[in-house]
């Protein structure tokens, strides 16, 4: 009997150590996803830092049709906004239901979130989750994009987002949110 108890304790301890019952990302208030779209790489660096700081999983929103070079991209992005388009992205998040917190990152495009970020948000049932926007820009504020994020992340609570100059802005913000791993 004693041996059986010991064996049970060893198995329990091993499982606990290996999984931490879900990993560190869950300790600070749920399992975390860091989804981002980045055209030139700035937002990608911020996203990678958020994933490193929180222990969250990264998902890159890759356009099904890649955006053209900069000058043409300005026109394509403007047309998408004017047409309220929902450009498709490649692949998808395998198990969105498992996440409690979804960071969504993007560059500010034409004083708003790029339409593809809205495609992403509208592709999932985000109700009951916390959605936290982050962005990079040439100077436009994050607030320009918040109405769109709110409308597309229906049923989610929108957390305190950030407009980041770069990865260096991430640590104090993540710790103020209480999501540092």
Ligand X SMILES: Cc1cc2nc3c(=O)[nH]c(=O)nc-3n(C[C@H](O)[C@H](O)[C@H](O)COP(=O)(O)O)c2cc1C
Which residues sit at the interface with ligand X, rule CB under 6 A? 38-44, 70, 73-74, 77, 107-111, 136-140
Q: In the beta sheet, which residues pair with residue 132? A: 103
Between 10 and 79, name the residue whose CB sits nearer to ligand X. 79
> For ligand X, which is the closer residue by CB, 122 or 165?
165
Q: Give dist(CA 170, CA 28) in Å, integer.
A: 16
Q: Least distance from C-beta 118 to ligand X, angstroms?
A: 15
- Collapsing DSSP to helix, strand or coil, 135 comes out as strand
Residue 125 forms beta bridges with which residues? Answer: none
Q: What angle do CA 117, 56, 36 make, to 5 degrees?
A: 20
* Distance in Å, CB of 77 to ligand X, minimum: 4
6 vs 88, beta carbon nearer ligand X: 88
Compute the least distance from the CB of residue 38 to ligand X, in Å: 3
Alpha-carbon distance 89 to 37, whole Å?
10
């Amino acid at each position: 009997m004693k041996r059986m108890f010991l064996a049970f304790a060893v198995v329990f301890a091993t499982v606990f150590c290996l999984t931490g019952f879900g990993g560190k990302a869950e300790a600070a208030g749920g399992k975390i996803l860091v989804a981002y779209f980045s055209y030139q790489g700035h937002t990608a660096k911020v996203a990678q830092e958020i994933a490193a700081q929180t222990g969250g999983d990264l998902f890159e929103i890759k356009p099904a049709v890649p955006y053209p070079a900069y000058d043409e991209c300005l026109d394509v992005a403007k047309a998408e906004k004017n047409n309220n388009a929902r450009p498709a992205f490649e692949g998808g998040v395998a198990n969105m239901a498992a996440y409690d917190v979804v960071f969504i990152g993007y560059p500010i495009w034409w004083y708003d979130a790029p339409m593809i970020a809205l495609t992403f948000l509208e592709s999932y049932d985000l109700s009951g989750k916390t959605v936290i926007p982050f962005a990079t820009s040439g100077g436009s504020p994050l607030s320009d994009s918040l109405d769109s994020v709110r409308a597309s992340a229906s049923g989610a609570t929108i957390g305190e987002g950030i407009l980041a100059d770069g990865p260096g802005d991430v640590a104090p913000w993540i710790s103020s949110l209480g999501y540092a791993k």
